Structure 1
Amino acid sequence: MSNKTLIFAHRGSAGTYPENTMAAFSAAFNEGVDGIELDVQLTKDDIPVIIHDEMVDRTTNGSGWVKDFTYQELESLDAGSWFDPSFEGASIPTLEQFFDFYSQTSLVINVELKSGVVRYPGIEKIVLELINKYKIRDRVIVSSFNHYSLVEMKQLDPEIETAILFMEGLYEPWNYAKGIGAEGLHCYLPVAVPELLVGAAKAGMPVRPFVVNEEQHITNLIKAGCDAIMTDWPERAIQIRESLLIE
């Protein structure tokens, strides 16, 4: 199997660590992943922070909308205990804190802009400035369910790599993606059907399905030569990939 399917840690090693925390990202790095996927939103004072939900209730001991907290207020929340008491005190990281460490690695970074429910004016420019500050543009993929955000990114920097996020069984989505200047398809696992994988490969567009956690799904996608998978269990996925390479 010459084409190695890349393993992206979805929100870090989210199966074994509290998602989108430095502990989860650090674990993923130590497990030997190829890439890390994370979610970015803006605080009240326009600091890009890494958190999935628009509200802090599920993954912290706080309550309310991310957009209504200053970073200083967010930083004091406990983002670990909800997952396991042993992670008490884990905090919501800033994108800059993450880049500070990961710019020293060779990992591919998938930054998802969470600009669909809350629009976060200026999030594209703020994130792009940080990417350029750390000189990691050549290994960052910017994705979003809000495709207007991706077009905005391309207008700011035509060279930045973007990928459309989608949940639906779109027909020939590579044509649509090319139409907005995107270079990748980040689709919901159930719509990563053979027709999509084959057609996208012919069109030269990488497919990176999410969230691929079941052993059978991981195995099938690797065998199908899928470009990459997003998984909460990267260590397991890497082991499966290694065993298939030995076969």
Structure 2
Amino acid sequence: MRERMKYMRKVYAHRGASGYAFENTLRAFEKAVGIGADGIETDLQLTKDGVPVIIHDADLYRVTGMRKFITELTLEELRELNVGRNRWKRLFGKPVMTFREFMKWANAAGTPPLNLELKETFLDRPEAVEQVVLAVKGYPDVHFSSFHYPLLMRVKQTDPGAETALIATRKSRWDQLGVYESADGFHIHKRLWSGKYLNAIEREGKFARVYAVDGTEPFIPKPESFIRGWITDFPDAVKKAMQKGS
């Protein structure tokens, strides 16, 4: 029973419940918990002074309106900006959360499972990966994902027991998935839901989570056994779709 519960499929709210609130904000995370998401997926980037913060884009224009890269600003400079969909929402918005603030929230919110995606700014400062991994040591349910395989290697070097997932694309080495030894599993876009990609993961004996689902996908109610979870902007809709297969 314990093993079955350990690998029960979880629904992760993508950047929080970003279908209902602006991504990677406290409001989005609180909304996710409020509508019953099993876990939270979020993104980590590094500021100029090496502070991990909760934001998806390295280019700040889309979420702040400033034409700067996050690596050009210190945390103090970044905190002067608010995030939002447009200039009016930014006027009343909040600054980017730091990773420390996010973890403080997560612990206070009942320690929901976390999917921490390490973004491209960590590539030039791999020592920051170690800091993040050690910071969540002891958190009850957390795993690391990334498009960048070297970052997952660094996670495993820091903590061999940490769970990792490579965010795979069509350009990944699907005929030789074994080369990704430091990836315990794979995260795939729903567009890759086909025999070619699913069979490759199953042959390797690894798990997968699928992102960009919204609850309308026909495979959600009864997916393959190695599918461990879903990553979605609409966790309530996906949980409802899962119930059709029970």
TM-score band, normalised by shorter chain: 0.7 to 0.9
Percentage of pairs with the same residue: 28
Q: Does 1:191 align with 2:192?
A: yes
Gaps of 5+ in 1: none
SS in 2 for 1:190: helix
Alignment equivalent of 1:111, drawn from 95, 113, 116: 116
Alignment equivalent of 1:161, drawn from 143, 153, 163: 163
Partner residue in 2 for 1:216: 216
Alignment equivalent of 1:151, drawn from 140, 150, 153: 153
Measured after TM superposition, the shift of residue 117 of structure 1 is 8.7
Measured after TM superposition, the shift of residue 71 of structure 1 is 1.2
TM (norm. structure 2) is: 0.85
Which amino acid is the alignment partner of residue 171 of structure 1?
Answer: W
Distance verdict in 2 for CA 1:106–1:87, change over 3 Å: farther
Measured after TM superposition, the shift of residue 202 of structure 1 is 6.1
Contact kept, 8 Å, 1:81 with 1:89, in 2: the verdict is no
Measured after TM superposition, the shift of residue 87 of structure 1 is 8.4
- Which aligned runs of 4 or more in structure 1 are off by greater than 6 angstroms? none
Distance verdict in 2 for CA 1:116–1:167, change over 3 Å: farther
State the alpha-carbon separation in 1 of the partners of residues 221 and 75 from structure 2: 40
| CA-based RMSD | 2.6
TM (norm. structure 1) is: 0.85
Contact kept, 8 Å, 2:126 with 2:151, in 1: the verdict is no
Which amino acid is the alignment partner of residue 206 of structure 1?
Answer: F
Pairing of 1:94-105 with structure 2 (within 5 A): 94-104=98-108, 105=110
Contact kept, 8 Å, 1:17 with 1:83, in 2: the verdict is no
